[in-house]
Structure 1
């Protein structure tokens, strides 16, 4: 029937068998159970090495002054070629997750194997208060915020500074001016309100936006009042190259006292992270 507002109301007949209601209730319970199993399977887990786990059990959080989060092939390649190869770094943890595009095991306790998409956490040997998170795997939308929250909740907030390195295609950059090839790649930055450091590149102009894990990390830091800055590199190449990697060097210049950068990585090191994958298929093969 309809009310005087024209709203249609559902009316159930008493002639309906009770068995049909029981079937609906059983079906709803089954849907809830399936949904619960999917949520448990897609839950993000942060795993730590035994030494770090003992520290977390005793103090509840890690003493960290600087955390660098590299997201994307170019940003992760820069960290590997210019940072991790310069000094002694040790893998102390990793993030295990499963989604529809992950190629690794669905077991949350599985250590990521070399060559697989991964989210690995490194700690500097000479300065344990510096952590690097290197993410090259796909993280689904429903996993972004829990991934950022679980990683950042493991470290102390007092005195913490977060630097996010991310890469994006030039096609996603919106500007009224024409951009030629000579002006790429370039950096743009976003920061939280509590960040007071110097800006080494222009701020990201409107209406450009940041998405994915970098946006989730920056949003978490804004809510928790953690000083954080995001440096996003816009490039016109699909695969990481040495030119795009060098673009990130000014972004870590403020951390030169605690993070040593390799001035000029060897050709072998650069080729390892700039190797272009072969085409899987095309019209002629």
Structure 2
């Protein structure tokens, strides 16, 4: 072969090249199979109870006027103590998923076990178009958007309003002004362009950002042009307490449907929430 002076040509045996190509092809097929198995295992499954499934199948999608999604221990604790503790709510669905930090099952028909973190969906008996999603389980980054898509995929988008309640450590709040302990906890809001309701708290200031499932839900609603608002509670406590949970009360005034709030939450429910916090804060357990 003609070449210029000083050029170094790499010469390979045809047999070696074919063997290397075959090995590379086998590795690629094996890697692809492993990726498919991992994706199947990490898939999020949303399952509804038979009554709701029949309703959704007959009308293609489940009618929902107000969807409340509570993410985090304080937000979920508020929903448990002030909303779900009153009679008139029924568990109608749940999400089953698996990841490195979850204790749930990856089986699509696996119902959440009592006492374990879970993603559970409740329906108001007197107004079936009002749904509450209570999420206290860890959802990995690669599962966030498919979790939002699976939940919204079963609901009608017409006349749907979404509210997300979430909690965040005070250390993650960015502000040029000094914050003293007397000013916490507090709410900040973030809304989609189609949301036109009045807000009971200031908007979230830059350069603060929202992450996790609340961000995935708000992004989905922004793309699908669904009116949605997020209320983020910034608190300096690690676990739910009565003061932090009460901070969410003004947020429910933005709902188009009226919810009955317990003026005095059940002592049993509050004791259960604080008992979990005490056990996790105990240095000797």
Tell me whether 162-171 or 257-266 shows the greater mean CA deviation. Answer: 257-266
Question: Residue 218 and residue 12 in structure 1: after superposition, are their counterparts in 2 closer, same or farther (change >3 A)?
Answer: farther
> What is the TM-score normalised by the length of structure 1?
0.92
| Alpha-carbon offset, residue 279 of structure 1 | 4.5
CA distance in 1, matches of 2:201, 2:213: 21
Secondary structure of 1:278 counterpart: helix
Residue deviations 1:203-238 (CA, integer Å, cap 9, x gap): 000000000000000000000000000000000000
Q: Is the aligned partner of 1:20 residue 2:10?
A: no
Q: Is the 8 A contact 1:87 1:260 kept in 2?
A: no
Q: Is the 8 A contact 1:190 1:230 kept in 2?
A: yes
Q: Which structure 2 residue ranges, 5 or more long, are not aligned?
A: 1-8
CA distance in 2, matches of 1:277, 1:152: 36
Report the equivalent of 1:261: 261
Report the equivalent of 1:218: 218
Residue deviations 1:233-259 (CA, integer Å, cap 9, x gap): 000000110000000000002338531
CA distance in 1, matches of 2:55, 2:119: 21
Question: Residue 197 and residue 279 in structure 1: after superposition, are their counterparts in 2 closer, same or farther (change >3 A)?
Answer: closer
CA distance in 1, matches of 2:111, 2:10: 55
Report the equivalent of 1:244: 244
Q: Superposition pairs for residues 192-203 of structure 1, below 5 Å?
A: 192-203=192-203
Report the equivalent of 1:168: 168
CA distance in 1, matches of 2:46, 2:278: 30
Report the equivalent of 1:278: 279
Q: Is the 8 A contact 1:77 1:274 kept in 2?
A: no
| Alpha-carbon offset, residue 195 of structure 1 | 0.2
Q: Is the 8 A contact 2:165 2:248 kept in 1?
A: yes
Report the equivalent of 2:130: 130
| Alpha-carbon offset, residue 13 of structure 1 | 2.6
Q: Is the 8 A contact 1:120 1:133 kept in 2?
A: yes
Tell me whether 103-112 or 162-171 shows the greater mean CA deviation. Answer: 103-112
Equivalences, count:
275
Q: Which structure 1 residue ranges, 5 or more long, are not aligned?
A: 1-9
Q: Superposition pairs for residues 175-186 of structure 1, below 5 Å?
A: 175-186=175-186
Report the equivalent of 1:189: 189
CA distance in 2, matches of 1:232, 1:39: 31
CA distance in 2, matches of 1:280, 1:259: 33
Q: Is the 8 A contact 2:85 2:266 kept in 1?
A: no
CA distance in 1, matches of 2:228, 2:11: 56
Q: Is the aligned partner of 1:51 residue 2:59?
A: no
| Alpha-carbon offset, residue 56 of structure 1 | 1.7
